[in-house]
Structure 1
Amino acid sequence: MMEYKVNDYKEAKDWLKNTDAILITASNGLSIAEGYHIFADNGSFRRYFGKFRQKYGADCLIRGVFTPMTAADHEEYMQTVHQYLIDDYHGSEVMKNLLSIVRNKPYFIVTSNGDAHFQMNGFDRDRIFEVEGNFEGLTEGSEEWNGQRQRFYAFLQEYSGQNALLFELGIGSRNQLIKAPTMGMAAEYPSWKFITMNMPGEINVPDALADRTVALTGDIGENLRNLLNE
């Protein structure tokens, strides 16, 4: 098994500085770093959704979306989701630091997070592909979603042969929706490098990418601060 570098912030910062373009991929771990855990029965969930927890047994935000309810209660539940994730959201240090790191490079974002937090923190709306839609009404197969997908493919076509970087944030080690295909793609592009941020047990790097990978383990917010301050 080939070795990859772990917590080498200097190397990661050099790669980010010198890359031609950055493909950002993000999932639930990035949301957790912001303080939003849609799979947790935590204090925030109970404050916003306690009524639905008591009445229907919903034990996290995402399962509540699919819990059978009356039509009126489901509508209220989805309005509460919007309030929690979007209306009452006012940006985060995590997203501010991420934007500071990538803003001077051509970048594109592929995410399964449906909270629209990238847009709300100043990331370019035309550089985002929300693969599962979002809670603002974007749905798979819609004209807007298809436009996001087409712009993603155009980004890959433009930078596949260049000195680009896959920057992965909080995606589970066995994720097949985003992680597996983008890692496989980066492995096929010999000029691409790979930076992955996750908890130590969720780091997954294929041998084909190991010699051009830096894994930054632990809290994503702290790792982003380290990249800015190293």
Structure 2
Amino acid sequence: MNDTNNIERAKAWIEHADAILITASNGLSISEGYHIFANNNDFKEKFKLFNEQLGIQNIVQGLFYNYPSEGMRILFYQTLIKYMITDYSGSSVFYNLKKIIGTKDYFILTSNGDTHFQINKFDKDKIFEIEGNFYNGLYRDFKSIENQQLLFKQFLETYRNKKLVILELGIGKRNTLIKAPIMDLVYNEAFYRYITFNLPQEIYINKNIENQSIAIEGEINKTLKELLK
């Protein structure tokens, strides 16, 4: 159970923020029931062909697999897009996240390729998919990432020396792609505040930003609800 004081402090930080930066990785997908690193029943059912014929054990392995033909690679991506995008219709996790943000300006930095932010009606011009998305992978087209990166830089420039609150959703403690540079960013901006949501074993905050940070342990879908009480 989270310390009530941490929840109340997080609420206050969000309420008084000039803007919100959402950072997200695989833990957010897991909170919705999608686990791209798992060889679970979902994977064995949806990706049976690739599991049985090629020995692929999870979605991440499938993304980087050296397929025997281009047609087989395309079929994998088509299967993945159907599973995680076409057949997906939104979730309460994103609904609650939107309620928490309210009318504040925001930006999203994510390594998730499932486009769930877009599907849940977050502004596509406020999203930087740092590794692209599954459509990019299907068509081998990553040009849009450069434009997203530019928008992200503009957002940070707008809120330099202002009250920016980072909501970190499900990013592992050893992550160097998003977590480490964002913590460095917080260290260099005295008015920035950092709230990390994750399972207890994945919680990590650099000591040099402890006074600017809050850790909220537990399942993301449950802790977001706590913030709305």
Match of 1:118 in 2: 117
Look up the match of 1:16: 14
Give the letter for the 2:208 counterpart.
A
The 8 Å contact of residues 169 and 220 in structure 1, kept in 2 or not, is answered as: yes
1:91 matched to 2:90:
yes
Which of 56, 60, 64 in structure 1 is aligned with 2:54? 56
Q: TM-score, normalised by structure 2?
A: 0.94
1:190 aligns with 2:190: yes
The structure-2 alpha-carbon separation of the partners of 1:103 and 1:153, relative to structure 1 and needing over 3 Å to count, comes to same
Give the superposition deviation at 1:160: 1.6
Partner Cα separation in structure 1 for residue 65 and residue 18 of structure 2: 45
* Structural mapping, 1:70-219, within 5 Å: 70-71=68-69, 72-137=71-136, 141-142=142-143, 144-219=144-219
Question: Is the Cα–Cα contact under 8 Å of residues 131 and 140 in structure 1 kept in the other structure?
Answer: no
1:26 aligns with 2:24: yes
What is the CA-CA distance between 1:24 and the residue it aligns to? 0.7
Q: Which moved more, 1:65-74 or 1:116-125?
A: 65-74
- What's the offset of the Cα at 1:141? 4.9
Number of residues of Structure 1 aligned to a counterpart in Structure 2: 224
CA apart distance, 1:137: 2.2
> Aligned partners of 1:156 and 1:73: how far apart in 2?
41
Deviations along 1:120-145, one digit per CA (max 9) or x if unpaired, are 00101010000000012276750x21
Which blocks of at least 5 consecutive residues in structure 1 are unaligned?
none
Secondary structure of 2:177's match? coil
> How far apart are the structure 1 equivalents of 2:68 and 2:46?
18
Distance 1:66 1:162 in 2: 40
RMSD: 1.5
Give me the whole-angstrom Cα distance separating, in 1, the residues matched to 2:3 and 2:200.
10
Distance 1:206 1:79 in 2: 40
TM-score (norm 1): 0.93
Distance 1:157 1:186 in 2: 14
Which runs of 4 or more aligned residues in structure 1 lie more than 3 Å from their structure 2 counterparts after TM superposition? 138-141
SS at match of 1:67: coil
Counterpart-to-counterpart distance in 2, 1:225 and 1:172: 21
**Preserved contact between residue 6 and residue 215 of structure 1 (Cα < 8 Å):** no
2: CA distance, partners of 1:135 / 1:9: 35
Distance 1:12 1:140, change over 3 A: farther
